[in-house]
Amino acid sequence: MYEGVWDKPQAYRGQTGAQDNIIPTADIISGVTHFYPKNQLTKYLIDLRQYRPKCIQNFFNELNSFMEKEPLIQHLSETKNPEGMLHLMEVFEQIYLFRNGHWQFVQKYIMKNTAYPKATGGTPITSWIPNQIKAVLKAMKVLSEKMKNYTNWDKKKWKEKYDLKVKLLNKQLQIVSIEAFNPDEVFELNLKYNNRDF
């Protein structure tokens, strides 16, 4: 209860996902939000926006309305802007690196120390971040299809790295789908695939 603020008690989830404004902004501007899976985890992710100050909530809403009129991938594709597409792919890569680095922290410092499936918050720890990693991987795939005829982009080299990211995530999710999985096996795959982001 906060006197003079609400008439009845409020209950909030105990997760920190509402503290960062940079990644949600990057997701909205780049169009990653269009690739969020339609599931409970995504609903929860969007719900966390209500935990932010009103000015940030308004900023996200206005930005979202603006970007929905013409998603960036669509705009760059229709205007045949290969340089813009290359820059957007770099943005997707940075979002991926952030999310994958976060996922590796979870593996190394949370999953290794507790078997509790919801660890630090109200969502399943083994699927929360992968939910968002899958979204950015889908965005990358769609953009790569639109870039396939551009000569100043090495699609073969990009695809090798992309396929490695997908394979790594899928193998990790296979391991964590077993009730009594070994978290060391999940983290060691990052080393095996030379994809350690922290």
Average pLDDT, the chain: 88
Model confidence at 179: pLDDT above 90: no
Task: Tell me the per-residue pLDDT of 79-101, one tens digit each, with 9 for 90 and over.
Answer: 999 999 999 999 999 999 999 99
pLDDT level of residue 141 (50, 70, 90 thresholds): very high
In a domain, 37, yes or no: yes
Residue 158, domain member (yes or no)? yes
Convert 89-127 to b/e letters by CB count within 10 Å (16 or more is b): bebbbebbebbbebbbebbbeebeeeeeeebeeebebbb
Distance CA(22)–CA(27), nearest Å, equals 9
Is 190 strand, coil or helix? helix
Range of 116's domain?
A: 22-192
Residue 10 covered by a domain? no
Residue 16 belongs to a domain = no
Q: How many domains does the chain have?
A: 1
Amino acid letter, residue 55? C
Q: Does 83 map to a domain? A: yes
Residue with tokens 């000569």: 151
Residue 11 lies in a domain: no
Residue 197 lies in a domain: no
